[in-house]
Amino acid sequence: MRACIKSILAVCTLVLTISASVSAQELSTYEEKVTEFTLDNGLHFIIVERSVAPVAHFLTLVDVGSANEPVGSTGIAHIFEHMVFKGSHTIGTTNYEEEVQYINQMDDAYTAWLDEYNKLESDEQKLEELWNRFEELQEKAGEYVVNNEFTQIIEREGAVGVNAFTSADLTGYFYSLPQNKAELWFMLEADRFKNPVMREFYTEKDVIYEERRMRTDSNPFGRLLEEFAATAFSAHPYKNPVIGWPSDIRNTTIADAWDFNDRHYSPSNFTIAVVGDVDPMEMRRLADKYFSDLQYRDPAPEVRVEEPEQRGERRFVIEERSQPIYIEGYHTVNNQHPDFQALNLLSNIMTSGRTSRLYKRMVVDDQSALQASSLNGYPGSKYPGMFLIYVIPNQGVEMETVEETLREELRKIVEEGVTEEELNRARTNARAGLVRTLTSNSGIAQTLASAHINGGDWRTAFTNLDRLSDVTANDIQRVAEQYLKKSNRTVGMIVTEQNEDVAAN
């Protein structure tokens, strides 16, 4: 038996050594392929030459997310993301000079309607008059709109995967093009950030309302996550949903969006990654040609709110007719903290793969759960976030059983620690995840640009993995004891309306 254990440990050590060498080799390889530079206005470029196919992926990553939104304007980062696809002064319009006059008047009319609407006792007749005036101006502005012209132009030229995202920490815009269309990307991308517009602003807010309805209001898991963040955080803006609260979406005006753009879309907040069959020197020339005149602005303001230490366990129950779901989370650290990697490995040990602790115990052995997953860094990791565990119980399994099982497994880690085999497997899984990401142009762009924004250098995507070797089994045990404790815990669950006993408990 002892010889067998030694053989297993030897194999794990060999795998770990190979994985570490792969990480170092990948970094060395990328250092030869990466060209990076920063324009005088602060905009940073990462160019990766990768001649696998005659295409290139373009990613514009902006260091702004929902955590940066001012009080009363939740969702504005996402609203502005939608506006970026509306074109510019010359794209998406038949006459911008005339269109913008109606846009400005329309915003004034909407603001007047809002002022009346938000009064304690609003005048219904006046509200109707103001709203009719707003709709009249919106219709006038719409007469100049060429719908989706920006997207149509790039898709005619072979663009694929045209999309964007807004998260708690970042906003990204991306798509791929044939490499001989690179100058078209530079021209159009620079144009829409140098000459942004608030075209179809209020029409687009209706789209966002529908998006919220589908992702949150009509989605049990979405409702649970929204309630969880609002309960777990008392001060930090991570408590707010990325999509925004409905009243904030309603109260956001074009003037608010312009202010958000001026504060957060400064060139020094941008990192642009171009990955594919491109000439780095040509990319530098095009960057200078199209982006160097993007006006310098002061760096975006930092979030200075700190979440106070939690004073005790927080709990909530949502009663509704849906699949029961259990969730719990613990306040931890940001992605630059020394404990972040240990917490990532702890999450991997708990729920990554069929042999992970929670998955094996609850899904495979007990069959008490249909799914058991965990995540470190929710809803973001730029600032201290949450270590999250969620379980979808099997039919007939009580929430008390789910919670007792979680407590037992966490207690085992705190009291007994983890094995070297588990730790080595988690390290290998983390490195394998990076390798998989780096098999595509889009994965490379996202990985390197995110690493630059989070760690100040794209190389941290590789050096952070190397730091996994410094994490010990004692570190895993220590962070479990330090962070995953009752006073630091928030528990939430969805239970069926008929299950009154569970709700009462």
Give the 3-state secondary structure of 112-160: HHHHHHCCCCCCHHHHHHHHHHHHHHHHHHHCCECCCHHHHHHHHCCCE
Cα distance between residue 223 and residue 211, in whole Å: 13
User: Do 269 and 340 fall into the same domain?
Assistant: no
Res 499 pLDDT > 90: no
Domain annotation covers residue 427:
yes
Residues 6+ apart with CB under 8 A from 140: 102, 106
Cα distance between residue 343 and residue 347, in whole Å: 6
Res 1 pLDDT > 60: no
The predicted pLDDT at position 84 comes to 98
- Mean pLDDT calculated for residue range 30-58: 95
Lowest mean pLDDT: which of 112-116, 179-183, 432-436? 432-436
Lowest mean pLDDT: which of 62-66, 177-181, 296-300? 296-300
User: Residue 76 corresponds to which tokens in the numbers above?
Assistant: 């504005």
User: Residue 304 corresponds to which tokens in the numbers above?
Assistant: 């200075």
User: Do 338 and 486 fall into the same domain?
Assistant: yes
Cα distance between residue 392 and residue 328, in whole Å: 12
User: Do 387 and 439 fall into the same domain?
Assistant: yes
As beta bridge partners, residue 176 has 57, 160
Query: What confidence tier does 244 reach under pLDDT thresholds 50, 70, 90?
Result: very high
Of 258, 292, 326, the residue at which a domain comes to its end is 292
Residues 6+ apart with CB under 8 A from 92: 86, 145, 146, 147, 148, 149, 150, 197, 199
Where in the sequence is the domain holding 80, given as residue range(s)? 37-93+145-292
Res 147 pLDDT > 70: yes
**Cα four-point dihedral sign 367, 501, 317, 505:** negative
Lowest mean pLDDT: which of 19-33, 353-367, 486-500? 19-33
Cα distance between residue 142 and residue 150, in whole Å: 16
CA 362 to chain centre: 29
Burial of 401 (0-12, 13-18, 19+ CB in 10 A): middle
- Mean pLDDT calculated for residue range 22-42: 82
- The proportion of the chain whose per-residue pLDDT surpasses 70, expressed as a percent, equals 93
Q: What are phi and psi of 46, to 5 degrees?
A: -125, 115
| 28, amino acid identity | S
As beta bridge partners, residue 56 has 177, 276
As beta bridge partners, residue 330 has 387, 489
CATH of residue 234's domain is 3.30.830.10
CA atoms within 13 Å, Cβ hemisphere of 144: 25
Cα distance between residue 131 and residue 115, in whole Å: 12
Res 16 pLDDT > 80: no
- Give the alpha-carbon dihedral of 275, 276, 281, 283, to 10 degrees: -60
Residue 236 is given by DSSP the state: S
**Nearest Cα to 356, choosing from 435, 419, 416, 414?**
419
Read off the pLDDT of residues 429-440 as tens digits, 9 standing for 90 and up.
988 988 899 999
Res 505 pLDDT > 80: no
Read off the pLDDT of residues 290-314 as tens digits, 9 standing for 90 and up.
999 999 999 888 999 999 999 999 9
Domain annotation covers residue 433:
yes
Query: What confidence tier does 27 reach under pLDDT thresholds 50, 70, 90?
Result: confident
Residue 217 is given by DSSP the state: I
User: Do 264 and 360 fall into the same domain?
Assistant: no
Cα distance between residue 11 and residue 17, in whole Å: 10
Residues constituting the chain: 505
The predicted pLDDT at position 185 comes to 98
User: Do 318 and 203 fall into the same domain?
Assistant: no
**Nearest Cα to 314, choosing from 228, 377, 243?**
228
The predicted pLDDT at position 498 comes to 67
Query: What confidence tier does 19 reach under pLDDT thresholds 50, 70, 90?
Result: very low
The predicted pLDDT at position 8 comes to 34
Of 257, 292, 327, the residue at which a domain comes to its end is 292
User: Do 376 and 425 fall into the same domain?
Assistant: yes
User: Do 277 and 411 fall into the same domain?
Assistant: no
CA atoms within 13 Å, Cβ hemisphere of 478: 10
Residue 240 is given by DSSP the state: S
The predicted pLDDT at position 136 comes to 98
User: Do 418 and 326 fall into the same domain?
Assistant: yes
Read off the pLDDT of residues 447-470 as tens digits, 9 standing for 90 and up.
999 999 999 999 999 888 888 889
Domain annotation covers residue 488:
yes
- Mean pLDDT calculated for residue range 204-226: 96
The Cα-based distances of 392 to 216, 323, 362, 475 in angstroms read 18, 8, 10, 29
User: Do 411 and 476 fall into the same domain?
Assistant: yes
Domain annotation covers residue 110:
no
Query: What confidence tier does 23 reach under pLDDT thresholds 50, 70, 90?
Result: low
Of 260, 292, 324, the residue at which a domain comes to its end is 292
Domain annotation covers residue 357:
yes
The predicted pLDDT at position 2 comes to 37
- pTM higher than 0.85, yes or no? yes
- Mean pLDDT, the chain, whole residue set: 92
Q: List strands edge to edge, sheet with 489-495.
A: 314-319, 489-495, 325-331, 386-393, 369-378
Query: What confidence tier does 18 reach under pLDDT thresholds 50, 70, 90?
Result: very low
Cα distance between residue 48 and residue 46, in whole Å: 7
- Mean pLDDT calculated for residue range 78-93: 98
Res 161 pLDDT > 90: yes
CB 207 within 8 A of CB 222: no
Coil, strand or helix at 4: helix
Res 235 pLDDT > 90: yes
Cα distance between residue 373 and residue 392, in whole Å: 9
- The proportion of the chain whose per-residue pLDDT surpasses 90, expressed as a percent, equals 87
User: Do 288 and 320 fall into the same domain?
Assistant: no
User: Do 344 and 385 fall into the same domain?
Assistant: yes
User: Do 50 and 170 fall into the same domain?
Assistant: yes
Domains held by the chain: number: 2
Query: What confidence tier does 501 reach under pLDDT thresholds 50, 70, 90?
Result: low
The predicted pLDDT at position 469 comes to 87
- Mean pLDDT calculated for residue range 273-301: 95
Domain annotation covers residue 6:
no
Read off the pLDDT of residues 358-408 as tens digits, 9 standing for 90 and up.
999 999 999 999 999 999 999 999 999 999 999 999 999 999 999 999 999
